[in-house]
Amino acid sequence: MNGEIYRQFEDNFRGSRELIIERLRIYLPFVLPLKGLYPDSSSVDLGCGRGEWLQLLTEKDVNIRGIDLDESMLQACRDLGLSAEQGDAIEALLTLPDDSQALVTAFHVVEHIQFEQLQRLVLEALRVLRPGGLLVMETPNPENIIVATRNFYLDPSHQRPIPSDLLAFLSEYYGFRRTKVLGLQESPALVAKTSPSLGEVLEGASSDYAVVAQKDAPDELLVLFDQPWAKDYGLSLRTLSDRFSESLASRLEQVAEQVARAEDQVSQSNQRAAQIEALARNAIERSEELENRISRLQPKFWIKRIRTVGKQGLRRVLVPIVLKIREYPRFYRVIISPLNDKPKLRSSLKRNIFGKPGKVHSWASKAEREAAVRQLLSSRALEVYDELAKAIESTKRSGDK
């Protein structure tokens, strides 16, 4: 890809100059303490590109120059009066004396070179840095699934993604005192979101990262950098996946609770249905019983019963009732009084059923008539009655002889 095409590619896919400068401000807390330690020391930016980093540090009065192979990129730097020259990054490092630089930076360079070149870059940077000096390497973050599987390959000059653990390991392996991994370019809204979607998990991790490696120095010098070193930067895939899992587990728990409530409601509905069914059966039984009772009130029912019982059976039923009523005149009045407005029926009932006081109807049997008579007599009269009955019975037996 020639220079003009690559510059247009950078403009289209990396972002505007203003946007890149704003993103680069995150490194200032690491870099500015170096200015106080080494005010006259120079710094070098490998693969300076359009010069956004050169511009930002020049505004901060940091002595820095850029190195890049692409002449069209260098022209953008020169147009702004920035110090930049054409050359190979590693070869430029080889020309620098030991302990001569306060800062060595390489923004989106390491993904363009072979691993052996990367090793040489880290080793040479350590050599040229002053005690406490910093090596900053920024690159696409393969922990972001979309970056690792798609966006990284938009640039045909990219070699391979480099995991942050590998880049930090190389820095420590070749002798840097400490390293700090910074996640970059994540969404602030997503950082605060506790329940990310699956899509946000796949593409929400920091799209870039940087390793800031510091050369060994006395502790009183290193303490000046402790504050930015102690901060957390970026949004990791692990954080997003943990949040997604917790959110999913919470939603599944809510679904389980809703299912349990639904099952309880179904169970309650079944119980109510059983109760309603029992009530319906009870209502049907009561309805049948009521119909049966109503049928007994119909004249046809009683006529049929009377015909079945016959006169003798009817007599056995009515006579004890009549005798009992005659024992208690109050019953007699209760039965007769409702018929006051029907004089004929009242007269017939009195005459044919109850008769007159002291009289027993002829349809009663001999024993029934005798029982009725005995009820009307006093105790003394009963004695006389029994003696007279015995005398009559004795006379009948004598006559028969």
For residue range 24-34, list pLDDT tens digits in order: 999 999 999 99
Tell me the mean pLDDT in the region 162-173: 97
Tell me the mean pLDDT in the region 153-169: 94
Question: If you search the block for the tokens 């302990």, which residue do you land on?
Answer: 99
Supply the pLDDT for residue 277.
86
For 97, the domain range is 3-235
Supply the pLDDT for residue 19.
93
| 279, two tokens | 């009530």
Q: What is the mean pLDDT of the chain?
A: 84
Report the sign of the C-alpha dihedral through residues 239, 180, 26, 14, in that order: negative
Mind listing the pLDDT tens digit for each residue in 134-149?
Answer: 999 999 999 999 999 9
Q: How confident is the model at residue 283 (pLDDT cuts 50, 70, 90)?
A: confident
- Say whether both 63 and 180 belong to one domain: yes
Tell me the mean pLDDT in the region 42-58: 95
Whole-angstrom Cα Rg for the chain: 59
Instruction: Give the C-alpha separation, 112 to 160, whole Å.
Output: 8
Instruction: Please give the C-alpha separations between residue 204 and each of 99, 144, 224, 232, in angstroms, as whole numbers.
Output: 40, 7, 33, 17
Residue 65 domain-assigned (yes or no): yes
Q: How far from each other are the two terminal CA atoms of the chain, in whole angstroms? A: 163
Supply the pLDDT for residue 387.
78
Instruction: Please give the C-alpha separations between residue 107 and each of 137, 140, 147, 204, 212, in angstroms, as whole numbers.
Output: 6, 10, 17, 21, 11
* Element housing 197 (H / E): none
Supply the pLDDT for residue 358.
47
Supply the pLDDT for residue 312.
56
Tell me the mean pLDDT in the region 225-232: 96
- DSSP per position, 242-278: HHHHHHHHHHHHHHHHHHHHHHHHHHHHHHHHHHHHH
- Say whether both 79 and 210 belong to one domain: yes
Tell me the mean pLDDT in the region 243-254: 90
Tell me the mean pLDDT in the region 247-270: 89
Kindly report the pTM of this predicted structure.
0.66
Residue 32 domain-assigned (yes or no): yes
Mind listing the pLDDT tens digit for each residue in 330-382?
Answer: 666 666 666 677 776 666 655 655 555 445 454 455 666 667 666 666 777 77
Q: CB of 209 within 8 A of CB of 147? A: no
Is the pLDDT score of 385 beyond 80? no
Bridge partners, residue 178, by sequence: 214
Q: What's the domain count of the chain?
A: 3
The residue among 269, 297, 325 that closes a domain is 297
- Say whether both 61 and 33 belong to one domain: yes
| 3-state secondary structure (DSSP) of residue 44 | strand
